[in-house]
Structure formats: structure tokens, C-alpha cells
Structure 1
Amino acid sequence: MKKATAIFLLLVYLFGSTDASQLLKFPLLVEHFQKHRQENNHMTLLTFLKLHYVDDQPFDDDYLQDMQLPFKTPDIICMTLPTVGPPAPVTLFTPVIELPREDYLVINDGPPPYRLPDVILQPPKSSSAPLS
């Protein structure tokens, strides 16, 4: 499953952002070559390729078909170029919140509540008188 997903993503990348999608036009090349072979029986594949890819392309009856051949016209693809530059300065802003000062009246001046178990629970004290 992972292998199939990886192959699928690779194909999406190749056909979406490179000229590999031109390979899908290969059947048009074969069909167009066969058409030229019917018109001129002595035409070879190299002559056909030279006529369509090396020589200047004349505007003739099959000009639109010639322009549909692979690698004749560029496809519009999305190109992304990463840019690396100096990082933008980062400024941290920490707002200072001043709380209003309030005076509180202390009612109980005794020990704090968390210290009460120490005052109430104490170990028994031993008497200094010997047991007889």
C-alpha cells in the first residue's frame, strides 16, 4: 500500500511539474508519422523527425497537427522556485499588565491553616520518671 502511494505521488509530481506529460502525446506522433508514410512511402522515421523537429515549421495544411506533437509546444506548468534570503528580524512584544494595588485587612494573625496539623498532632512525650 505504501509503495503504491509513493508511486502515485511520484507520477503526480512528474506529470504535473515536469515535461513528462509530453510523453502522453506519443500516440499522436505515431499516428502523424503513419499519415506521412501514407502520403510519401519513402519517408523514414529520421526524415520525419528532422522535418518536424529540426527544420523550420512551415504553416501548411497540417500545421495544427504538427503543433500537437510531443515537445513542440510547452505546456503551462506551475514552477516554484525556493528563495533563500536573510531572515526577517523577529521582535517579541510582551505586554506589561499592571494590576491595581489593593490593601487587604488581615483578620487572623495565627498560624496558617496548612500548619495546623503540626500544632494539633504531636507525638506523646515520655516522662522522665523511671518505671518501677
Structure 2
Amino acid sequence: MVKAHITIFFLFLFLMGQTELHQLLKLPILVEHFREHRRLDAGITLLDFLKEHYQGHTVMDNDYQRDMQLPFKTTDCVTTISIVCEEPVAYEIDRVMAEVKKEFNLHPEYFPSRQALDNIFQPPRFA
């Protein structure tokens, strides 16, 4: 039961932060603004109010700032998720085995520095 509550809480938190669902929290402003319009014009219906504020172009009248506080009038959160689904493409890679042979002829007589190091590096002697 607790896991379900935690899951619902995180789902709610995600939806409020990553979608425009948080605009629903502005519904009391919509109701109050509708009441303000009803005080000015008692014959206005809710449908007329919604048409005036949401359909067509936004009119810059004396209550423009109040109109912009209504839900879904502005965009606060824009999240774009792109999922690309493509068919898998089969690629064939031909493996070519390359063999590199190098010959090194290392003989002690070819290293003159070896003889110089013989005098320095000698095994320890017992006295």
C-alpha cells in the first residue's frame, strides 16, 4: 500500500514538472476571472467566456495581464522527447587476416654498448 502511494506521488511529481498538467492548478484563476466577466456582463455564458479567451487571436485589452494568468494561455514547460525506431540493418564485415612477419637478428656482438655495461653491472662479490 505504501509503495502505491509513493508511486502515485512520484508520478504526480513527474507530470506536474515535465508536462503542462500543472496548468490545472490555475483553474481557480479561471473561475474568478469568469466571475469578473459575469459582474461586467451578466449575460455571458461559460462557453462565450472560453471562446473569447481561448479561440482565435489574443486581444490586448485592459485586462490582458489577467488573461495571461489563465490556464493554458502561456507555456511554462516544454519537453521534447524523440524516440526513433528503425529497422535493424544487417551489416556483413569481411574479416581479413593479415599476418605481419618481422625478423630481428639480435646478436650480442652488434651491441658495442653491452661491453661498456659489463664493467658497471656485475654480480655482488663476497669478501
**Residue segments in structure 1 that go unaligned for 5+ positions in a row:** 87-132
Answer whether contact 1:17 1:78 (CA < 8 A) is retained. Answer: yes
Distance in 1, matches of 2:79 and 2:45, equals 37
- Quick one: which amino acid aligns to residue 73 of structure 1? T
Give the share of equivalent positions with the same residue, in percent: 47
Q: How many residues align?
A: 86
Pairing 1:8-47 to 2, within 5 Å after superposition: 8-47=9-48
Larger Rg: 1
Runs ≥4 residues deviating over 6 A: 83-86
Give the structure 1 partner of residue 77 of structure 2: 76
Pairing 1:56-67 to 2, within 5 Å after superposition: 56-67=57-68
Structure 1 residues 55 and 83, CA gap change in structure 2 (3 angstroms): closer
Shift of residue 13 of structure 1? 1.1
Distance in 2, matches of 1:20 and 1:76, equals 10
Shift of residue 55 of structure 1? 3.2
Output the TM-score relative to the length of structure 1: 0.59
Answer whether contact 1:16 1:77 (CA < 8 A) is retained. Answer: no
Distance in 2, matches of 1:41 and 1:56, equals 24
Aligned-residue CA RMSD in angstroms?
1.8
**Residue segments in structure 2 that go unaligned for 5+ positions in a row:** 89-127
Answer whether contact 2:34 2:49 (CA < 8 A) is retained. Answer: yes
Answer whether contact 1:36 1:43 (CA < 8 A) is retained. Answer: yes
> CA deviation digits over 1:43-99, x for unaligned, max 9?
00000000000132211111011011111111134444456799xxxxxxxxxxxxx
> CA deviation digits over 1:5-52, x for unaligned, max 9?
001011011111111111011001000000000000000000000000
Which 10-residue stretch deviates more, 77-86 or 64-73?
77-86
Output the TM-score relative to the length of structure 2: 0.61
- Quick one: which amino acid aligns to residue 42 of structure 2? N
Distance in 1, matches of 2:47 and 2:60, equals 21
